Amino acid sequence: MAAQLGMREGKFRRLNDLEKGAPIEAGVNYFTQRKRGRAEDAETHVVRAGESLWHVAQRYGIRLQRLEYLNRLKENEIRPGMVLNLRKRRGKNEAIRTQNVPADNRPAAPRQAAPAQPGPAPRPATSTPPPARTESPANGRTTHTVQQGDTLFGISRQYGISVEALKSWNGIGADNVIRVGQRLIVSAP
């Protein structure tokens, strides 16, 4: 995947807190720029069954070590229902809060943070996506509505186009950020 993005594998792994040999997982967001030290769009996250600290860090675009530091945790010292801080450090003697996780394993929505600083935030979107492919009658160009887990590379392969063309047609910058629900042009003008 790193070669397809035009970067060295070691750098890609460092940017995504991946150990050498760790698999690239489908449906997980990966970053091509350094992740932030704190989440910009949420104060907390309620851990779901099957989640690891790494998955939470990837979801919010923050560095794994920083997430551990904010919550005074060791790697994967989490369990469902734990409320993880994403912006402020937990107090030294403060217990980690917990919430009941509903039977469908979906926690309550995270508390919203203060308005983010300007600039693109390296974070995934989590809304329910609309249909994936539509035809625009106005100009006859095919569009793709971004789904959870979509990547520029995957979309480009699906439509037989290059990542660079996809980025160019849609004004996507070097940060390579796309969001669930975003409509992308996937056919030549």
Instruction: Report CA Rg, the chain.
Output: 18
How far apart, in whole angstroms, are the C-alpha atoms of residue 64 and residue 118? 23
Q: Report pTM.
A: 0.52
CA distances from 30 to 81, 142, 176 (A): 25, 26, 10
- Same-fold call for 3-85 versus 133-185: yes
How far apart, in whole angstroms, are the C-alpha atoms of residue 154 and residue 72? 36
Give the pLDDT score at 70: 93
Reported as half-sphere exposure (CB side, CA atoms, 13 A), residue 26 has a value of 2
- State the fold for domain 133-185: Membrane-bound Lytic Murein Transglycosylase D; Chain A (3.10.350)
> What tokens appear for 123 in the block?
């974070």
Q: Which amino acid is present at 89?
A: R
- Domain spans of the chain? 3-85, 133-185
How far apart, in whole angstroms, are the C-alpha atoms of residue 107 and residue 116? 23
Residues 6+ positions from 172 with CB-CB distance below 8 Å: 152, 166, 178
Give the pLDDT score at 77: 79
In what helix (H) or strand (E) does residue 154 lie, and over which residues does it extend?
A: helix 152-159
Give the pLDDT score at 75: 62
Q: Which CATH number fits domain 3-85: 3.40.1180.10, 3.90.400.10, 3.30.1370.60, 3.10.350.10?
A: 3.10.350.10
In what helix (H) or strand (E) does residue 12 lie, and over which residues does it extend?
A: helix 9-15
Per-residue pLDDT of the chain (189 residues; tens, 9 = 90+): 666 777 888 898 889 888 888 888 877 888 888 888 888 888 999 998 888 888 899 989 999 999 999 999 876 678 889 999 999 999 988 988 898 876 554 444 444 333 333 344 444 433 333 345 555 545 678 888 888 778 888 888 788 888 888 888 888 887 888 888 888 988 877
Strand partners, 133: 144
Give the pLDDT score at 72: 92
Give the pLDDT score at 131: 42
